[in-house]
Amino acid sequence: MRLLHWLPGRLLSAIVVLLGASILIFAAVRSLPGDFAQIVLGPLSNEEQREQLRQSFGFDRSLPEQYLLWLGNAARGDFGLSLASQQPVLDELASRLPVTALLAGMAMLVTIAIGIPLGVYAGTHASTGRGSAAARIVSTIGISFPEFVLGCLVVFLFSRFDLGLSVGAFTSPTTDFGRGVVSLLLPALVLSVFCVAATARTTRDAVIGVLVEPHIAASVARGEPKGFIIRHHVLRNALIPVLTLTATITAYLLGGAVIVERVFNVPGIGSYLVLALDRRDYTVIQAGVLLATAVFVIASLLIDVLTGLVDPRVSVAKKGRGA
Amino acid sequence: MSAILDIQDVTVEYSTGGTIVRALDGASLAVRAGETVGLVGESGSGKSTLGSLVGRLLPGNASYPEGRVLVDGHDVLQLGVKELRTLRREQLGFIPQDPISALDPTMRIGRQLELALRGLPNDRAALVGHLERVRMREPERVLRLFPHEISGGMAQRIVIAMTMARSPRILIADEPTAALDSNVRSEVTKLVFGLARDAGTTVLWLSHDLRSVGRWCERVAVMYAGRVVEDGPAEQVLGSPTHPYTVALAAADPAGVQPGERIETSSVDVATLAESFRDDERAAKRRAKTRKTDAESADDPEPAPEEEVVAR
């Protein structure tokens, strides 16, 4: 119920962020060096042909005019045609979205399934030393290894030696979900290494922080067993900083997907955007980056709501500000 | 009838960054079942350490080189993890100073109470019953609230309900009213002693507040520099104290002076009269130092008995 007090304001600010992002994206794309007409028609075209092409796509109008036109259409769900393929941008992105969504989803799943238990273990065994030191070393390595290095290493190892999984042979999850998952296993693992390490580290620190709180001492004094205290009182309290990190991880997965898809040759949105950049396919770049921004904004919003549910004090603070 | 709580000549040391601080220095206290004992003394005298020691609840940097703590015949310092847990759960009850931070901030009161009462009937009606026992108004509504939505007095009532639900044999209350408004202090104090009397619980009441100790406790034990220096019936200890420190403490009780009158803390007196004490203290330090590698801190300033007792 508290949600209703601050959600409208939060939604409004999300829309403002998206609008601001759309302006930035539009300006950035148009200031890229290289002329679309030149790239499409080649060096042998004459100025008249190029002018005609620009006119047919509306590039002869002023930039603000172009922006408003694009925004108006985008608001109605029409992102125009891809300049390169002449197909609707929305269809092109929609056909690739399941691949990237599955990749990011798998990476997120691995992150939660490994990162959080690892962090809880390290946090609850911090005083014993050995487990904690191991966790710290592993997480430091994981955080500092760039995914393109790791990705190339994995691609090399799995294509040079027969290790059970093949790289490069891709099956779309829409045709065969099971094989799709298998073919995305390696990219997802590479993508999740950083996230697992960061999550484990954050969870560990959060757990250590919660363990020294007086209400934990009170549970100990009541004679509660360690496992019981961790399950009921530590996890929920330690979850708050981990949830905040999840927003950052979402952003990372979006960016990391571009690199990992490229390295593993996965036909998702990331690799499609890189291709569109090469081809100066303005409409595709605009729509793709706006999509990524929207995903991030929505994820942040969801995480805010979740944080409010886990920690009642958070939503009260927001309510106070709004009211 | 033997003592339900028998603390025998206990020494407790905290090691912090290479130095060893001795918090208890041969403290002894025997309490019979059903007694109400007020434990008084200035900050740093070892009251809280002694209280926590009863449940072996001291932080990880504490060690117990000497002495025994017997709760109903069990040596608390030697118990295994499981037995210790059972002892805490079934025989002991603790009420902390700051009740709000003693509650899980992310959990509704009802759910916390339900968890704390595991093994006992903990349905809605039972929870309401427990809150009514501590004279909580609107218990149904309170069960749905979070800790940040209630007052300190309410939180302390909830903690008391949690603690007294199992009818502990010994209740250790560490300045349970110090964080509360003065108008709810006496109510909470009355509540705790009432519930303890009904359950036949032995009370160890740690406090600065001599007046409430004199009013509610049959017996008073005075702590100074890690020992129990005086112990006896309340009216005798507070009325005609014998140990110099207790004399100063009783004289500094703000309840006994007229408004505007200057409170005599006679700290100088205490310092000189407690000289014999300090000699013992030095001897103890030297003993402790034999375990340390660096004898560098030989000139450690002695914990000077300052005028901690201030009128509030």
Give B78-132 as a DSSP string. Answer: G--HHHHHHHHHHTEEEE-S-TGGGS-TTS-HHHHHHHHTTTS--SHHHHHHHHH
The model's pTM is 0.78
Q: Specify the CATH number for the domain of residue B32.
A: 3.40.50.300
B50 found inside a domain: yes
B222 found inside a domain: yes
The verdict on B101 touching A (C-beta cutoff 8 Å) is yes
Q: What percentage of chain A exceeds 70 in pLDDT? A: 93
B19 found inside a domain: yes
Chains A and B: how many Cβ contacts under 8 Å? 64
The verdict on B37 touching A (C-beta cutoff 8 Å) is no
pLDDT reported for residue B21: 87
B259 found inside a domain: yes
B20 found inside a domain: yes
Helices (H), A111-176: 116-124, 130-144, 147-160
- pLDDT over threshold 80, residue A317: no
Q: State the pLDDT confidence band at B197, using cuts at 50, 70 and 90.
A: very high
Q: List, for residues A112-135, the tens digit of each pLDDT value.
A: 999 999 899 888 887 766 767 777
What is the three-class DSSP state of B26?
A: strand
Mean pLDDT throughout A250-268?
86
Mean pLDDT throughout A285-314?
86
C-alpha B203/C-alpha B213 separation (Å) is 11
Mean pLDDT throughout A80-97?
87
C-alpha A293/C-alpha A79 separation (Å) is 15
Contacts of B85 in chain A (CB under 8 A): 223-225
What average pLDDT does the structure give for chain B? Answer: 82
CB contact under 8 A, B57 and A215: no
- pLDDT over threshold 90, residue B128: yes
- pLDDT over threshold 50, residue B41: yes
A299: its two tokens: 């994820």
Q: List, for residues B136-148, the tens digit of each pLDDT value.
A: 999 999 999 999 9
Mean pLDDT throughout A107-115?
93
C-alpha A102/C-alpha A176 separation (Å) is 13
A95: its two tokens: 């056909």
pLDDT reported for residue A7: 77
Q: CA nearest A259: which of A168, A146, A174?
A: A146
Contacts of A218 in chain B (CB under 8 A): 94, 96, 102-103, 159
User: Considering CB atoms only, which of B57, B60, B106 is closest to A221?
Assistant: B57
B228 found inside a domain: yes
CB contact under 8 A, B103 and A215: yes
Q: Taking each helix axis from N to C terminus, what angle separates A312-322 and A3-30, rounded to the nearest 10 degrees?
A: 80
The verdict on B89 touching A (C-beta cutoff 8 Å) is yes
Considering its fold, how many domains does chain B have in total? 1
- A312 CA to chain B: closest CA distance, Å? 6
pLDDT reported for residue B7: 92
User: Considering CB atoms only, which of A213, A223, A233 is closest to B85?
Assistant: A223
What average pLDDT does the structure give for chain A? Answer: 84
Top residue of B87, B97, B104 to mutate, by most chain A CBs within 10 Å, is B104
B193 found inside a domain: no
Interface of A with B in 124-183 (CB under 8 A): 127
Contacts of B116 in chain A (CB under 8 A): 222
B160 found inside a domain: no
- Domain residue limits at B29: 3-93+214-308
- pLDDT over threshold 80, residue A288: yes
pLDDT reported for residue B52: 92
- pLDDT over threshold 60, residue B306: no
Q: Please, what sign has the CA dihedral across residues B85, B86, B87, B89?
A: positive
Contacts of B61 in chain A (CB under 8 A): none
Mean pLDDT throughout A247-254?
86
Q: List, for residues A22-46, the tens digit of each pLDDT value.
A: 999 888 888 877 677 777 777 777 8
Lowest mean pLDDT among A56-60, B174-178, B225-229: A56-60
